A and B are shown apart, each in its own frame.
Chain A
Amino acid sequence: MAEVTFWQAIRDALRDEMLRDEKVFVMGEDVGIYGGAYGATRDLWEEFGSERVRDTAISEAAIAGAAVGAAMCGYRPVAEIMYMDFLTIAMDQFVNQGGKNRYMFGGKTTVPMVLRTQGGAGRCIAAQHSQSLEAWFVHAPGVFVVSPSNPYDAKGLLKASIRDDNPVRFFEHKMIYGMKGEVPEEDYVVPLGRANVTHEGDDVTIVIYSMMANLALEAAGILEQDGISAEVIDLRSLKPLDVDTILRSVRKTGRVLLASEGCENNNAVTEVAMRINEHGFDYLDAPMKRICAADVPIPMSPTLEDACIPTAPRIAEAAKELVG
């Protein structure tokens, strides 16, 4: 198996799907000759041309809304919003139009589109270029939310998202575009709504996703030195949510730590905790715990940014307190 970076995995998934289905096209700011702000559409413009790899104006509402319209007319657009923070401008189009059209119009239409976006902290680019806004979209009926943590999942999940008939918000963390991993060249998908147990353990379950899932593996290593065996569940999809896999683990460990880079208040993992409460309360040996970003606008200064978001040692610490 070839070892490729995260951005290459995204690019290869786009390429494969564009070759497989002529209805798939890419649009967004600087996705053409520039190859995307984080390089995820590199070389596609050269191969497919400016019709199917469309550079757009800096018009996030029009990008998201045009994707909705094209999807309703038989295409499978993959629209890129350069930073997740800019989704605020595209929110109505994705959530109110794209997410609701099927239901609102009596189930007679579909909106098969993917809204790719990049987010997360780690580059000292402050409050409007570093957020993790998954919770906003998990809250919206009619849309799926997907968030890979590694190149293999990125390729397989993006293919599944493009082939899915629902609007999918696909979130890529800016700090893992350079991450390398083994990725098959042949066609495969990672189904939506299937979590992945990336580290097995018996003492505590860490439920996590995106870049943080890699930090959880590091945290599991730290915990191991302290004689604590952690099970790491990488959610991969925040919606649909794989409740079965989570419950299987909770039954085994009895202790749950939920982690996310989004702000703590009403974080997407709060919903996971509630599902565990509803369906797995009897398995719990201790109250669940969460570790999220502070409820502040992400600050620029490196010391403050670092203090704002969970790190591997802090995840390990929180898990340790839980096992106590």
Chain B
Amino acid sequence: MARATKKAKRSRKKTAAKTPAARALKREEKVHFLHQMMQIRAFEDKVFELLARDVLKGASHVYAGQEAIAVGACSVIEPTDYITSTHRGHGHCLARGGELDRMLAELCGKATGYCKGRGGSMHIADTSAGNLGATGIVGGNIPVATGAGLACKFNGRNQVVLCFFGDGASNNGTFHESLNMAGAWQLPVVYICENNLYGMSVSTDVACSVKDIATRGVAYGMPGEIADGMKVLEVREAVARAVARAREGGGPTLLECKAYRYRGHSRSDPRKYRTREEEDHWHSRDPIEQFSNLLVKTRAMTRKQVADLHVQVELEIAAAEKFALEESEYPDPSELHDDVYVGWKKGPMGLEKV
């Protein structure tokens, strides 16, 4: 066993050294990352406000605090690649090219939303943009991502899959079955574990058998790496290495991004299970603050430009809110039975061929 671990470590080192890091970024690209992260944060703040005002129905799990992961990871891949998302999926949807207005419309259950209002917060995804979907079952997307990886391996088009999930999902059987399968078949999947320290209220210290979830990669014959999930460029570098390895036929990677969920699990969560000191610590490492400071320090942006971008995002959110709440209609009840089946529709006697 010890020997096998050593061997895995050796091969990990070798591959890591061989694969190229992310290419150098243009200024516009960096500004775009900051813009996207600000959009996600502002979107989530708006969602929380609308929930508090009871304008928004249903459950919403917000992504605030984890923006650097979705933005950094999705910045690496091509439009033809795939991602799979989770119940905390607003950030993934946006980073994969989703527009604020149609996203908010989806959360409001409006017909103009990405899923025609049928999915809502927990299933927000634009499947036509290579997002294979957000699932409300913790760990439910990991086998699906693995199958997408199999399809990518079959078709020879050099595509990859980014599979997002949380620390909680890494304790689910689907994680272990899927990573074993991907390791055995050397599938081009990057398993991105967003470790935000809590599965709802239960801390990883209590729930996890290991301190670093990345170490579980060894069990499945794949490199396990850790990235600072509060640093967008660090996430990007790590995902770029894993994606390059996958495209070269080097198989899957387990990448653990350490981050923090700013809000409670959902609106009804009073966050009794964690201290305000701990929250303050993570807020002091805010991904948007850190990255905007970096851009200012490296003279990619001025303070004024950062402030202007904040104002621009506020305007974008206001426009999205107007679109979702005022300009969009709810789906007509007559559409209830649409799209359950391909080629069949409910008729007076049951399902009928269309």
| Interchain CB contact under 8 A, A65 and B178 | yes
User: Which residues does chain B contribute within 8 Å of A65, judged by CB atoms?
Assistant: 140, 142-144, 146-147, 174, 178
Chain B residue numbers with a CB within 8 Å of A72 are: 127, 132-133, 144, 147-148
Q: Mark B21-57, 1 if CB is under 8 A from A, else 0.
A: 0000000000000000000000000000000000000
**Pick the contact of B116 from A77, A106, A244, A279 — CB < 8 Å?**
A106
- Tell me if B320 is interfacial: C-beta within 8 Å of chain A: no
The interface residues of chain A lying within 8 Å CB-to-CB of B145 are 69
- In the bound complex, CA of A109 to CA of B350 (Å): 23
**A48 proximal to B (CB < 8 A):** no
Could you tell me if B180 and A73 are in contact, using CB atoms closer than 8 angstroms?
no
Q: Count of chain B residues with Cβ under 8 Å from any Cβ of A? A: 52
Residue pair B150, A110 in contact (C-beta under 8 Å): no
Interface size counted on chain A using CB atoms at 8 A: 52
Find out whether the CB atom of A56 lies under 8 angstroms from the CB atom of B116. Answer: no
Q: How far is the CA of A25 from the CA of B150 in the complex (A)?
A: 11
CB-nearest residue of chain A relative to B119?
A104
Asked if A301 is an interface residue, CB under 8 A from chain B, the answer is no
Q: Is B125 an interface residue (CB 8 A)?
A: yes
Given A69-B146, A69-B147, A141-B340, A106–B114 Cβ distance below 8 Å? yes
Contact between chains at B181 and A62 (CB < 8 Å): yes
Q: Which residues of A contact B152 (CB under 8 A)?
A: 73
B209 within 8 A of A: no
Give the residues in chain B near A89, CB-CB below 8 Å.
Answer: 173
Q: Which residue of A lies closest to B347 (CB)?
A: A243
Cβ–Cβ < 8 Å partners of B116 in chain A: 106-107
Q: Is the CB of B181 within 8 A of A56?
A: yes
Cβ proximity bits B180-217 to A, threshold 8 Å, 1 near / 0 not: 11001100000000000000000000000000000000
A92 pairs with B123, CB closer than 8 A: no
| Chain A nearest Cβ from B146, distance in angstroms | 5
Contact of A103 among B114, B151, B339, B353 (CB under 8 A): B339
Q: Do B143 and A93 touch (CB < 8 A)?
A: yes
- 8 Å CB interface, B108-164 against A: 113-116, 118-119, 123, 125-128, 132-133, 135-137, 140-152, 154-155
Of B144, B185, B342, which is within 8 A of A68 by CB?
B144
Of chain B, the residue at the smallest CB distance from A112 is B342
Interface residue from A77, A102, A240 paired with B339 (Cβ < 8 Å): A102
What are the residues of chain B within 8 A of A97 when measuring CB–CB?
133, 135, 137, 140-141, 143-144
Measured between beta carbons, the chain B residues less than 8 angstroms from A275 are 349-350
Contacts of B143 in A (CB 8 A): 61-62, 64-66, 68-69, 93, 97
Q: Which of A77, A104, A240, A244 is in CB contact (< 8 Å) with B147?
A: A77
A8: Cβ under 8 A from any B Cβ? no
Residue B326 CB within 8 A of the other chain: no
A231 to chain B, nearest CB (A): 19
**Of B178, B340, B341, most A-chain CB atoms within 10 Å:** B341
Contact yes or no, A243 B118, CB < 8 A: no
Q: Is the CB of A88 closer than 8 A to any CB of chain B? A: no
User: Are the CB atoms of A106 and B119 closer together than 8 Å?
Assistant: yes
Which chain B residue has the least Cβ–Cβ distance from A67?
B147
> How near does chain B come to A191, taking the closest CB pair, in angstroms?
8
User: Is B181 touching A57 in the complex (CB atoms < 8 A)?
Assistant: yes
Residues of B within 8 A of A93 (CB): 140, 143-144, 174
A141 contact set on B, CB distance < 8 A: 340
Q: In the bound complex, do residue B343 and residue A61 qualify as a contact, i.e. CB atoms below 8 Å apart? A: no
Chain B residue with Cβ nearest A65: B143
Asked if A101 is at the interface of the complex by the 8 Å CB criterion, the answer is: yes
Complex: A239 Cα to B84 Cα, angstroms: 29
* A96: Cβ under 8 A from any B Cβ: yes
| B133 contacts across to A, CB distance below 8 A | 72, 97, 101, 104-105, 109
CB of B319 closer than 8 Å to a CB of A: no
Q: Is the CB of B349 within 8 A of A62?
A: no
Q: Is B273's beta carbon under 8 Å from chain A?
A: no
B177 is an interface residue with CB less than 8 A from chain A = yes
Are A70 and B119 in contact, CB atoms less than 8 angstroms apart?
no
Interface residues in chain B, defined as those with a beta carbon under 8 Å from any beta carbon in chain A = 82, 84, 113-116, 118-119, 123, 125-128, 132-133, 135-137, 140-152, 154-155, 173-174, 177-178, 180-181, 184-185, 338-344, 349-351, 353
Query: Which 6 residue pairs are nearest across A and B when measured between Cβ atoms?
Result: A65-B143, A69-B147, A107-B339, A66-B147, A73-B151, A59-B177
Extra pairs beyond A62-B181, A72-B133, A96-B140 (8, CB < 8 Å): A59-B180, A62-B146, A65-B174, A69-B149, A73-B147, A73-B151, A73-B152, A102-B341
Sample 25 A-B pairs with CB under 8 A, ordered by A number: A56-B181, A57-B184, A59-B178, A61-B143, A62-B143, A66-B143, A66-B146, A66-B178, A69-B144, A69-B147, A70-B151, A72-B148, A92-B140, A93-B140, A96-B140, A97-B144, A105-B127, A106-B114, A106-B115, A106-B116, A109-B127, A164-B342, A166-B344, A193-B351, A240-B353
